[in-house]
Amino acid sequence: ANMPELHSCLEVAALAGACLAVGWWMGSRRQRRARPPQYHAGIIKANRELLDQYIQLHDHTWDEVMEVMYQCNMRNFLVWYHEETQLMMQHFECVGDDFEGDMAKVAAHPITRFWWTFCEPCQIPFHWEGPPPSQGGAGDPRYPGQWWAPMQCLTHCGAWPTSYAESWPNPTFQKNHPEGKTTTKDSPPEVHNRTGPAAGWTTYKQQPYRAPGC
């Protein structure tokens, strides 16, 4: 073969090798991405008197809260409400490798902790003693950390998610507040539980109050 033909053959071989490498890399990514997430769900009673506030808080969850949840590998977070029983169920999926570490980072986030002080009065946990989670409380020693009572997954009928959107909120979500009211960190709702010793914690710009012993 003459030199031009040899160069052409080498170029084709190099291109074929590159295509194989790219194909292998993309296949490897798909395999990693296809790993199913960890599923987590919990249940809690709604405080009927503050359901309006809870809807305001969740028709537009504060951007900073959504950001830290995403950074901490939480995806597809949902809260369902059953009016007859006044029960709420949460569900989310975790795509990280250190669930406890990720949850600790969420709990340490000052704006998220401040957000919790408005959510907690809207909820009635089944088993809880002492300061709420926003103040570092761990609850009833028999049910440690169970502000939301954990639920057992009895089945998952396949077709698990393999990728997630990188933005929020979900454009198909339909807001629930009849007057379209929402809140932000700079314009929060009225009712909170930063009372008593926690009364000095008045803004998200402060370090969260931690109850003694927590």
Which DSSP helix (H) or strand (E) runs through 105?
helix 99-108
Give the rounded percent of residues in the chain with a pLDDT score beyond 70: 84
For residue 77, give every residue at least 6 positions away whose Cβ sits within 8 Å of its Cβ, in sequence order, or none: 69, 90, 91, 92
Among residues 135, 122, 134, 125, which one has the least CA distance to residue 183?
122
- The closest alpha carbon to 139, from 200, 214, 66, belongs to 214
* pLDDT score at 31: 47
Q: Model-level pTM? A: 0.83
What is the distance between the alpha carbons of residues 149 and 125, in angstroms, rounded to a whole number?
7
Ranges of residues in the chain with a pLDDT under 50 are: 6, 22, 28-31
Q: Phi, psi (5° rounding) for residue 42?
A: -150, 165
